[in-house]
Amino acid sequence: MTSNETTNGSHQGIKDANIAIVGAGVGGLVTALHLHAHGFHNIRLFEAATKVTSLGVGINVQPHAVLILRDLGLLPALQSTGVETRELNYYDQYGNSILSEPRGKFAGYKVPQFSIHRGHLQILLLEAVKERLGEASVLLNHSLETFEHIPTKDGTEKVRLHFIQRKTGSPATLVPHLEADIAIAADGINSTIRRLLYPSEGPANFSGRILWRGCLEREPYLTGASMIWSGHANQKFIAYPIGPVTTDPATGEQTTLVNWIAELRVRDEDDPDTTPPEKPDWTVSVPKEKFASEFEKWTFGFLNVPELIGKTERVYEFPMCDRTPVSRWSFGSLTMVGDAAHPMFPIGSNGASQAILDAAALTGCLLCCEDFAGVEAALQVYERERLPATSRIVMANRGNGPDHVMQVVHERAPEGFRDVEEVISREELEGIGAGYKKVAGFEVERVNRMAGESEGVAERKGLVSPRAWMVGGGEAMVPNGVHSAAVTESEEHVVQMGGLKIGINGTGVADP
Ligand SMILES: Cc1cc2nc3c(=O)[nH]c(=O)nc-3n(C[C@H](O)[C@H](O)[C@H](O)COP(=O)(O)OP(=O)(O)OC[C@H]3O[C@@H](n4cnc5c(N)ncnc54)[C@H](O)[C@@H]3O)c2cc1C
């Protein structure tokens, strides 16, 4: 029997392909949703984590990626929990304003930019997957250990995947082995599949800088939807709200969940050692004493950085790492998406967005296959479309990406300035941001053209957001904007973020 024959001998179409996605992060989940929205129905996600809890802090989804989520019917869900980012303001380390740039709809895009809690984004995607593909489509406690390519008699191939339980090392209980027609590696910056494909690649490339990140429920600052970027390449402080502004009916007091990142160079720029101090892991919680004193004097009028750090309960440490782009992602009927394919420094807020773009591109290429014999070629077309594009972003981020505006100002005026135009012209400032948007593929005209072309597609396909994530679905509103319908706070139904305990109607997210 050939790989595209059923047991009764009839030929299956490409949409019947048995697709295995390894990793249920943003990249894996959106890939599943996108394939499903285009008629693929035999899809399963294999996730190493044993349960789902809300991990991570703030993340941004840029308009070109929001457009893809809009066309999957997820805009209401994003609106229920994220913030439609209004502006991005750059400052030097003394709080002097360098540039204020409108973002998303406020910059003329037809779709917003969202600043959102990464855990919420992952949960809402997970719930959409379960609603559309079925509960059984996501298998937790299935950590990919190894794989091999299996040639079939008709000259095509399958990929045999082996899953273990990460804690014990014993075979996964439900699906210890699987032969997939198409395998997609979405297993993040520490991807096992990438390591098996590139055994000599070694650890991720450490930038010499560490990010410390936290979240605090506090009063809104500036517009209530403003991102602030301050400092320079070796010492930066970033803050942006990731939840809607809510008002306490008793006191009238307004609050919003503010995500912040303190970044410091800890290894000399000339040091040739690029081995990270720890394996990059977004879940490592550390004491604030490691970095807080370096930001003692960063008190801007509208935001007191030491206070923000001081009041935050839990702080996470992430060595800023990427990987040098490889020359191939697609090997037979296996390919990679997201951070497995192109881990990049988290500069320019593009990690999640590029994973979402991969998902759409991959689906588009597979839809061009007439039959299973075309899968290998389709995955190569996907690679040709996405690998050079994302490699350019990886390299742009090594050169500070859009944050280069702060570095230029710092080099020219290390002691601060009175008028930014004496330091850098408006044209030069705006040119840096515009250049990055072009590299990352979110120029306004391009995104708006695509938004017009696909207008109404979600409605025509009947794709709707998971009910628990829609505003006005009869649910109770909890402080950060997450809605909970008849929440019972069993252990699985509780999300812990910093000091905040939030009931969520549904499961939480992964604990890798
Ligand atoms: C826990 C966590 C917290 C994060 N927090 C932030 C944040 O606060 N801000 C930010 O900008 N970015 C954060 N990121 C990174 C961000 O999610 C990604 O850069 C981006 O969304 C691209 O997503 P991805 O799906 O490619 O990778 P990821 O989001 O990293 O997802 C990869 C998934 O694969 C799973 N996995 C790993 N190995 C295996 C294996 N062998 N078998 C099966 N499954 C496996 C992981 O458990 C994970 O769920 C975080 C990532 C993680 C995993």
Q: Which residue has the higher pLDDT, 21 or 281?
A: 21
What value does the mean pLDDT take over residues 60-73? 97
- In angstroms, the CA 344 to CA 353 distance is 12
Cα of 239 vs centre of ligand 1, distance in Å, is 21
* Dmax (CA) of the chain: 78
Instruction: Using alpha carbons, select from 359, 58, 109, 368 the residue that is nearest to residue 225.
Output: 58
Cα of 396 vs centre of ligand 1, distance in Å, is 21
Tell me whether the CATH fold assigned to 8-51+140-201+325-398 matches the one assigned to 56-117+204-322+401-485.
no
**DSSP β-ladder status, 19-22 and 43-46:** parallel
Lowest mean pLDDT across 35-49, 51-65, 378-392, 476-490:
476-490
Cα of 188 vs centre of ligand 1, distance in Å, is 5
Q: Where are the domains of the chain?
A: 8-51+140-201+325-398, 56-117+204-322+401-485
Question: If you average pLDDT over every residue of the chain, what do you get?
Answer: 87
Residue 413 confidence class, pLDDT cut points 50, 70, 90: very high
Structure confidence by residue, pLDDT tens digits, 6-59: 444 334 789 999 999 999 999 999 999 999 999 999 999 999 999 877 777 899
Question: What is the DSSP-derived secondary structure letter of residue 77?
Answer: H
Tell me how crowded residue 370 is: count the other CB atoms within 10 A of its CB: 9
Cα of 187 vs centre of ligand 1, distance in Å, is 7
What is the SS3 assignment for 505?
A: coil
Percent of the chain whose predicted confidence (pLDDT) is above 70: 89
Inform me whether the pLDDT recorded for 473 exceeds 70. Answer: no
Of 57, 118, 122, 354, best ligand 1 pocket probe by most atoms within 8 Å of the beta carbon:
118
Residue 487 confidence class, pLDDT cut points 50, 70, 90: very low
What value does the mean pLDDT take over residues 397-402? 86
- In angstroms, the CA 111 to CA 69 distance is 10
Protein residue with its CA nearest to atom 31 in ligand 1: 25
CATH class given for the domain over 56-117+204-322+401-485? alpha beta
Task: Give the ranges where 49-117 is alpha helix by DSSP (H).
Answer: 63-70, 75-81
Q: Fold for domain 8-51+140-201+325-398?
A: FAD/NAD(P)-binding domain (3.50.50)
Which numbered atom of ligand 1 lies nearest the CA of 49? 47
Of 191, 318, 339, best ligand 1 pocket probe by most atoms within 8 Å of the beta carbon:
339
What is the SS3 assignment for 226?
A: strand
Inform me whether the pLDDT recorded for 495 exceeds 90. Answer: no
Protein residue with its CA nearest to atom 3 in ligand 1: 56
pLDDT of residue 253: 94
Binding pocket residue ranges, ligand 1, CB within 6 Å:
22-28, 46-49, 55-59, 118, 143-144, 186-188, 192, 282-283, 338-340, 346, 351-352, 355, 510, 512
Tell me how crowded residue 422 is: count the other CB atoms within 10 A of its CB: 10
Task: Give the ranges where 23-147 is alpha helix by DSSP (H).
Answer: 26-37, 63-70, 75-81, 118-133
Inform me whether the pLDDT recorded for 505 exceeds 80. Answer: no
Protein residue with its CA nearest to atom 19 in ligand 1: 351
Task: Give the ranges where 413-502 is alpha helix by DSSP (H).
Answer: 426-440, 444-453, 457-461
Protein residue with its CA nearest to atom 37 in ligand 1: 187
Residue 472 confidence class, pLDDT cut points 50, 70, 90: low
Strand partners for 58:
117
Cα of 511 vs centre of ligand 1, distance in Å, is 10
3-state secondary structure 350-410: CHHHHHHHHHHHHHHHHHCCCCHHHHHHHHHHHHHHHHHHHHHHHHHHHCCHHHHHHHHHH
Residue 498 confidence class, pLDDT cut points 50, 70, 90: very low
Structure confidence by residue, pLDDT tens digits, 177-193: 999 999 999 999 999 99
Structure confidence by residue, pLDDT tens digits, 209-246: 999 999 999 999 999 999 999 999 899 999 999 998 89
Inform me whether the pLDDT recorded for 138 exceeds 80. Answer: yes
pLDDT of residue 3: 39
Cα of 445 vs centre of ligand 1, distance in Å, is 31
